[in-house]
Amino acid sequence: MTDRGALAFGDREYSAAELDALTSGMATTFEQRGVRSGDRVAIMSSNRPEFVIALRAIWVLGASAVLLSSSWKRAEVAHALDLTRPRHAVGDNPVLGELMPMLSLDEPVTPGRRAFDPVDPDGDALFVFSSGTTGMPKAVRHTHRGFAVAVQHWRDALELTAADRMQILTPPSHILGLLNIVMALETGAWIRLHPRFDIEAMLRHIESDRITIEMAVAPIALALAAHPNLESYDLSSLRYAMWCATPVTESVAAQVSARTGLQWVTAYGTTELPVIAANPIDSARLDTVGRPVPGVDVRIGADGEIQVRSDSVMAGYLPESATAGAFNDGWYRTGDVGHLDDDGFLHITDRSKEMIKVRGFQVAPAEVEAVLHGHPAVEDCAVFGEPDAADGEAVVAAIATAQTVDAEELIDLVGRQLASYKRPRRVVFVPDIPRLPSGKVLRRVLKEQHGRPTDI
């Protein structure tokens, strides 16, 4: 391996050899703290090189990483830890440090160079969190073998080579950010990490770093379209921008293309099966998420649900009781409704699950409802999603109450206890919450009566 630049962060650039040496050193530190093959290690970190080094160190020891969002509050982290039971923790977030002993990523690492035993490919590699519709988030379990297949699928879909240059602006605890980091480093592509999304920094580095592939979830695409001086940046190095995690807003994509000549490509995946379909790079269509990638089978169930099968599918959920319902004869049930056209392109038309997707992050209505029910003025409540041009969807809370309460008070209550993307965008007060005799909330009725019509 040549000792060329592999990863940049701010003014610092790391070579592949430096990353390997730091990984070796951190693995030794983990061992000294008792980390062994098969252990679970919680990691709660911002997007930074030390996250990458810690993740690789966990893996070379044959341990698995429990990825916690750095935007989570104490109750969310406590739930994740209770569910996954990690024995060790590493990160840069005091919330995790308050709940269990944590190795700080700010601690210096002594570089090393040593050999490690081969990792069991069928051992656990990752626990990534995915919200369901009936309770708190579930942990999605991926093995080393399965995740490696997903990485290969993504590399093939992007036509990524060692000559490509990318920047990562999405959180590393999200499957998209993680997939991009791992894939780029394993391919030998160059990447720049950003601690957070900043449109000016993004555009400036496309120009100065000669970025070739840009990842753009909906907020990034909106920021591009709204930028008053977009034409002043040299974006000519970009091969394309990949629109991920949320449905494409064609008018926004077209506006950016008209101003810059940028080519858009779309793809589709889930936390449970990271890469399902992608458009061909040279002839992408924005009205479809593309064709199923080689190695992934797609079928449409009787109710129109998209079901998929691949070696890259998750090994299961925690709690384990949730796993069986996610599969139908070995096919993973995505919860998305759609169809395959005559040319084999996949179209997504609806969601059969009630999960809300905000900026690509999954929000369980039941989790937000549990917080709202804690307010003494709330007699009953239900949460649903409505289309939003910037975020894909917005959270809306329907509240039944016998006494006056300010909407902002309820929104702030959620904001204090849950991550910011789970905060309701608005509150609607209703006389009662429509339910079936079984008690199941009729969210579709609430959407029809109180949801705002889509403008995207």
pLDDT in tens, 338-366: 999 999 999 987 766 677 889 888 888 87
Q: How many degrees, rounded to 5, is the angle at CA 28 between CA 26 and CA 29?
A: 60
Q: What is the mean pLDDT of residues 418-442?
A: 86
Task: Classify strands 190-193 and 5-9 as parallel, antiparallel or unpaired.
Answer: parallel
Q: How confident is the model at residue 47 (pLDDT cuts 50, 70, 90)?
A: very high
Q: Are the beta carbons of 109 and 29 closer than 8 angstroms? A: yes
Burial 342-376 (b: 16+ CB within 10 A, else e): eeebbbbeebbbbbbbbbbbbbbbbbbbbbbeebe
Q: What is the mean pLDDT of residues 74-102?
A: 97
Tokens at 72, concatenated: 């989570």
Residues 6+ apart with CB under 8 A from 217: 170, 176, 243, 244, 245, 246, 359, 360, 392
Task: Classify strands 331-340 and 327-328 as parallel, antiparallel or unpaired.
Answer: antiparallel
Domain 5-350 has CATH 3.40.50.12780: yes
Architecture of domain 356-450: 2-Layer Sandwich (3.30)
Tokens at 449, concatenated: 């009566």
pLDDT beyond 90 at 131: no
How much of the chain exceeds pLDDT 70, in percent? 95
The better pLDDT of the pair 247, 291 is held by: 291
pLDDT of residue 87: 98
Dihedral sign for Cα 155, 160, 164, 170, please.
negative
Q: Are the beta carbons of 86 and 99 closer than 8 angstroms? A: no
Please give, one letter per residue, the 3-state secondary structure of 248-299.
Answer: CCHHHHHHHHHHHCCCEEEEECCCCCCCCEECCHHHCCCCCCEEECCCEEEE
pLDDT of residue 251: 78
Domain with CATH 3.40.50.12780 in the chain: 5-350
- Rounded Cα distance between 426 and 423, Å, is 9
pLDDT of residue 455: 46
The better pLDDT of the pair 336, 21 is held by: 21
Q: How confident is the model at residue 73 (pLDDT cuts 50, 70, 90)?
A: very high
pLDDT of residue 217: 78
Task: Classify strands 316-318 and 305-310 as parallel, antiparallel or unpaired.
Answer: unpaired
C-alpha distances in Å from residue 62, one per residue of 118, 123, 277, 357, 443: 8, 7, 30, 32, 43
pLDDT beyond 50 at 408: yes
Q: What is the mean pLDDT of residues 313-339?
A: 94
Q: State the chain's mean pLDDT as an integer.
A: 92
Cis omega before residue 319 (within 30°)?
yes
pLDDT of residue 1: 42
pLDDT of residue 214: 96
* Element of type H or E holding 439: none
pLDDT of residue 303: 82
Q: What is the mean pLDDT of residues 396-425?
A: 94
pLDDT of residue 456: 40
Please report, as a single letter, which amino acid is at residue 355: M
Tokens at 89, concatenated: 């923790």
Q: What is the mean pLDDT of residues 200-216?
A: 96
Tokens at 417, concatenated: 């206890």
Determine the number of helices (DSSP H) and then strands (DSSP E) in the chain.
Answer: 12, 26
- Rounded Cα distance between 371 and 79, Å, is 14
- Rounded Cα distance between 145 and 429, Å, is 49
pLDDT of residue 228: 94
pLDDT of residue 453: 66
Q: Are the beta carbons of 344 and 291 closer than 8 angstroms? A: yes
Q: What is the mean pLDDT of residues 365-376?
A: 87
C-alpha distances in Å from residue 401, one per residue of 163, 380, 427, 432: 59, 7, 12, 8
pLDDT of residue 128: 96
Domain with CATH 3.30.300.30 in the chain: 356-450
pLDDT beyond 90 at 55: yes
Indicate the angle between helix axes 365-372 and 407-417, nearest 10 degrees. 120
Q: How many degrees, rounded to 5, is the angle at CA 72 between CA 223 and CA 144?
A: 90
Q: What is the mean pLDDT of residues 2-6?
A: 78
Q: What is the mean pLDDT of residues 123-150?
A: 87
pLDDT of residue 133: 43
C-alpha distances in Å from residue 293, one per residue of 18, 278, 285, 289: 34, 6, 15, 11
pLDDT of residue 351: 67
- Rounded Cα distance between 456 and 21, Å, is 48
294-311 pLDDT, tens digit per residue, is 999 999 998 889 999 999
Q: How confident is the model at residue 252 (pLDDT cuts 50, 70, 90)?
A: confident
Q: What is the mean pLDDT of residues 261-285?
A: 95
Q: How confident is the model at residue 106 (pLDDT cuts 50, 70, 90)?
A: very high
pLDDT of residue 454: 54
